Every structure is written in C-alpha cells, then in structure tokens.
Amino acid sequence: MNNHEIDYKLYGEEMQCVEVELDPQESVIAEPGSFMMMTDGIQMETMFGDGNHKGFMSKLFTAGKRMLTGENLFMTVYTNVGQGKKQVTFAAPYSGKIIPMDLQKLGNKIVCQKDSFLCAAKGVSVGIEFQKKLGTGLFGGEGFIMQKLEGDGMAFVHSGGHVIEKELQPGEVLKIDTGCIVAFTSGVQYDIQFVGGIKNTLFGGEGVFFAVLRGPGKVWIQTLPISRLAGRILSYGTGSRKEEGSILGGLGNLLDGD
C-alpha cells in the first residue's frame, strides 16, 4: 500500500465520531474543524492542500483546487510521534452517519459531495472532479464540482441523516435529488435530467432537475442533505408563521408565548 494503514472505531448513532488509531509515524489528514480529541504523543501540522505534495507551487495548486470546492485552503495532518499506538478522534459537523471507505476495495477512487469529506489516511489524495457535460455543469446544483478521493487507504465521509447504499448493475439507472448524493465509485456515470411537465416544474416542490446515476458501481445516498435542512430552517426563520393566517391569528401566537 502507498497510503498509511490505519485502524478505526466508530462511536454513536446519529451524532457520530470516528476514533483513528495510529502506529508510530503513521498519519491521518483531516478537514479543519473536524478535530475532537487526541491522546498525548500526536503532533498536529497545518499545511496547504492534502499534505501529499512537495514544493510550494505544487502545494499552492492543490490548495487552489480545494478553493473551487468551497473547502479550506489548509488541511491538518496528525502524526503519531510517540511510542506505541495513539488515538485521534474526529466528529461529523452535523447529525448523520460517518461512512468508512476502503479505497483499495472501491477501485482506488470515489467521487463525493464537496462538503462530505471528513478525514483519511495520509497519502490519500483529495482533489476535485468536474462534471464534463454542459447540462450537468449548468443545472447540477451540488453535483457540478465534486471532490474525488484517490489512493489505496481508508477515507471517511459523512452524510446527513441516514445513509443508504445501493449497488448498481451495468446499465442500471437511479434517479435522485442532486443534494441526496453522498458519494459514488468511479464507474458510475453522472448526468442531469429535466423533470418535465408544467405542473411538476411549477408545483412539484422538488426542483426542475434531478440527477441520473448509471451503473455499474456503488452509490451512497443521504436522507437529509444539509442544504435542505438549512433551507427549511431559513424559511421558518424569515417567513410568516402558518398560524398567523388562521382563525386564531395573534391569539395563537400569544398562547405560544410570542
């Protein structure tokens, strides 16, 4: 293996964290803000990109690609510089599931949503994956610029809500909301399709386009995209309350303590 071999253990159900166990001189890379705790003997180092590149220009180019996906310019590398096994723990940023992925068993590459990467063994490359078709680029929403994780080590991504795994057979098609995609293997083809129908477009409430995934390969799907949750919270925070137009009107709000 080219990547560091790491052991891990998941804790929790809907608010999960992952404990990574490092042998001496083993390292794990993680997104800033995902760190939870670590044992004594682990050294932290913040660096440009994913920590796999040497030379300033190479690091700068890698960091620039991360900017395109809306991620931080920097990543943090945690290395066991002590004796014996050490542990470092990372937590997901919102309620959902952490998905461990052995890249060696998944064709050495997965494509994932740009905000789903949590951490990975040192040596895993974190880059960007452009969707090449024009329609996908213009209307793909979350799916236009995605992250790609390449290597033969362990990587961890997180989903919103519950996660469902589907194994698509060659030519098998799955139509899905673009925001519900967590990740898929490199053999899966990704495209965008118009929902169709005036009523569907105007009143469906599900968007005008959805993603079309075509096998073969594995797909991970989340039940609650963070964009959907944030949109619902904003609509409740800025819009008028439903009972304000009811027969109770202000009385209902008064009874609620408003």
Domains defined for the chain, CATH in brackets: 7-230 (3.60.160.10)
Q: Which DSSP state fits 240?
A: P
**The two three-digit tokens of residue 85, written as one number:** 């096994």
Burial class (CB in 10 A: 0-12, 13-18, 19+), 50: buried
pTM: 0.79
Most trustworthy range by pLDDT among 122-131, 173-182, 197-206: 173-182
Nearby residues of 239 by Cβ (< 8 Å), 6 or more positions away = none
Burial class (CB in 10 A: 0-12, 13-18, 19+), 217: buried
- Name the residue type at position 196: G
What is the SS3 assignment for 233? Answer: helix
Q: Which DSSP state fits 180?
A: G
The lowest-confidence range among 1-5, 16-20, 166-170 is 1-5
Closest by CA to 147, choosing from 173, 117, 176, is 117
Strand partners, 112: 147, 183
Burial class (CB in 10 A: 0-12, 13-18, 19+), 49: buried
**The two three-digit tokens of residue 139, written as one number:** 């209307």
When pLDDT is cut at 50, 70 and 90, the band that residue 11 belongs to is very high
Mean pLDDT of the 52-59 span = 57
Q: What is the pLDDT of residues 67-107, one digit of tens each?
A: 655 566 788 999 999 999 999 999 988 889 999 999 999 99
Q: Which percentage of the chain shows pLDDT scores above 70? A: 71
**pLDDT surpasses 70 at 215:** yes
203 Rama class: left (phi>0) / alpha (psi -120 to 50) / beta: alpha
For residues 208 and 82, the model is more confident at 82
What is the SS3 assignment for 40? Answer: coil
Most trustworthy range by pLDDT among 22-26, 131-135, 147-151: 22-26
